[in-house]
Structure 1
Amino acid sequence: MAKSWLAGALLWLLAAMGQAAEPPQRIISLTPHLTELLVDIGAESRIVATDDASDYPPQVRALPHVANYRSINIEALLAQKPDLVVAWRSAQARMLAPIEQLGIPVFYSEPTDFASLSQEMRALGERLGLQQNANAQADAYLARLATLKAKYGHGESISVFYQLWNPPLTSVSGYAWAAQAITLCGGRNLVDNAASPYPQVGLEQIIKANPQLILAGSRDTHVLDHWQQWPMLDAVKQHRLTLINSDELHRFTPRALNAVEQVCQAIAAARSPQP
């Protein structure tokens, strides 16, 4: 079976060489944020397969799946005869080495901050011959980002703890997008200097730091209830325990700014004196 799919792939690649000048028309996305970006810039009709986690917008859920967060089904991927694979560099480059050896082009994504996402949108649009759409989407995204910075990025610094999950009590630091959102909105992330982007932290450390605001990326309305055991904390006394839409905040797409605005609004509210 391995020989048959390899032979078929090689024959298809030879045929595709004559069409190299054409923009890719059969795209496989191996990560959710790239699936969403493809739709944003107008390439939805070209997506032929995705990974298990690609769930937005809803219509992409019906597409075949050829990967999950741990592995890529190379045989299923080749069966889709892609002329471009889009993937997350740090997580998937090694797994895609056999695909690149076969000559199938791969577009790698690795946005490092909110501004760099616009660059990736433009690069993807150029690769697909959709520059006009991609540039318009990137410009709109940057304009909204600038508006959020101008509106919320100034004023009194508010100490913020972001609960990624618990237990174990885990937070965000450095270039994790939730950490960047706190800084963008004028907050002071209590664990920003941690060595890991997703550090496990001690409860005693957070109690001692006494955050003015505690956020959690979750839809579970009870996920912050355990903080009520510590009524002396400023965030608990002032009822500043706020849920953020993690599906948006932790996905590297323009929708992340919806959740960033939630973070900004929570920090702005924490600056306001309580009645």
Structure 2
Amino acid sequence: MAQVLIQNVQAQDVPVENSQVASTQRVISLAPHITEMLFAIGAGEQVVAVDDASDYPIAANDLPKVANYRSLNMEQILALQPDLVVAWGNAQQQMVQPLEQLGITVFYSAPATFAKLTDELQQLGQLTGHQQQARAVANDYQQQITQLEQDYRDASPVTVFYQIASTPLMSANGSTWMGQAVDLCGGVNIMADSPAPYPQVNAEQVLAQNPQVIVAADIAELAHWQQWPTMDAVAQDKLLTIDANLLHRFTPRTPVGIRQLCLQLDKVRATH
């Protein structure tokens, strides 16, 4: 059984000393954003398995798949004898509790804000013995976020409906990464005040707000809005797309996705 390093490590805990993580050589990632972060900080060679959705970087595709968003392959995970399992916050806590009970170290990834991702990159660097590269990646990421904040600090407001899915119709409130990105770009998220992070809404709610732009990950997901040609976003041809892999995964690549979103909102500003 894997050596116990730290039990139930939380993202906000005090980082551990180098001597405590020297034996962390076999890591399992249970979410795509976690896999990306581990590879980005130089710990890719220590990753021995990932979840079904981990497809970046390309090397992740060659690793054993031991989980999906609903379940874990416990037999396969135990056979791989991990030193560390990195899980996705509260979303996977119940699933991984049996691993903790068996003495396997679990770190819960839960970067709720742009700043928290900087902290988490460095914590993963300490857990895997890649402090220097993790610090460099975190600094570069933070510099990109700071630059975006400066670039769009005085941007004119644009009302936005951020569409996560079309069936059912879902959006994101202001507390989510997508909502924070809209705000950073000078957008006004029409669902920002929803009590649910990812609310299910109906078309009538969106029509009533009449946003200037509707953003989704796939142009096909936006087709249903064409039945309301008088809505501003449709009339002005501002049904726009972003790369969900860049913006929906909380990784060092996220600033690229945010920049893409900001440029899409700039298209609306250019017509007013």
Same-fold call, TM > 0.5? yes
Residue type at the aligned position of 2:181: A
In the alignment, structure 2 segments of 5+ residues that lack a partner are 5-18
Output the CA distance in 1 between the equivalents of 2:99 and 2:221.
42
Please say if 1:29 is aligned against 2:29. yes
Deviation track 1:201-231 (CA, whole Å, cap 9, x = no partner) reads: 121221121111111122xx33222222222
Contact 2:24–2:128 (8 Å) recurs in 1: yes
Counterpart for residue 75 of structure 2: 75
Counterpart for residue 111 of structure 1: 111
Shift of 1:89: 2.0
1:264 to 254, 262, 266: 262
The secondary structure found in structure 1 opposite 2:214 is: strand
Contact 2:215–2:239 (8 Å) recurs in 1: yes
Counterpart for residue 237 of structure 2: 239
Deviates more, 1:35-44 or 1:85-94: 85-94
Contact 1:154–1:185 (8 Å) recurs in 2: no
Counterpart for residue 13 of structure 2: none
Deviation track 1:154-210 (CA, whole Å, cap 9, x = no partner) reads: 222111111111122211113222111101101000011111111111212211211
The secondary structure found in structure 1 opposite 2:170 is: coil
Shift of 1:20: 5.7
Deviates more, 1:134-143 or 1:244-253: 244-253
In the alignment, structure 1 segments of 5+ residues that lack a partner are 1-8
Give the aligned CA root-mean-square deviation in angstroms: 1.7
Counterpart for residue 121 of structure 2: 121
Counterpart for residue 228 of structure 1: 226
- Structure with larger RCO (C-alpha < 8 A, sep 6+): 2
Residue type at the aligned position of 2:265: I
Counterpart for residue 182 of structure 2: 182
The aligned length equals 258
Residue type at the aligned position of 1:222: A
Contact 1:29–1:51 (8 Å) recurs in 2: yes
Counterpart for residue 249 of structure 2: 251
2:271 to 266, 269, 273: 273
Shift of 1:97: 1.8
Residue type at the aligned position of 1:235: A
Please say if 1:160 is aligned against 2:160. yes
The secondary structure found in structure 2 opposite 1:223 is: helix
Compared with structure 1, are the counterparts of its residues 78 and 20 closer, same or farther at alpha carbon in structure 2 (3 Å cutoff)?
A: farther
Shift of 1:13: 4.4
Counterpart for residue 39 of structure 2: 39
Residue type at the aligned position of 2:49: A
The secondary structure found in structure 2 opposite 1:94 is: helix
Shift of 1:98: 2.0
Amino-acid identity (%): 47
Counterpart for residue 59 of structure 1: 59
Contact 1:122–1:135 (8 Å) recurs in 2: yes
Output the CA distance in 1 between the equivalents of 2:235 and 2:98.
56
Counterpart for residue 6 of structure 1: none
Residue type at the aligned position of 1:52: D
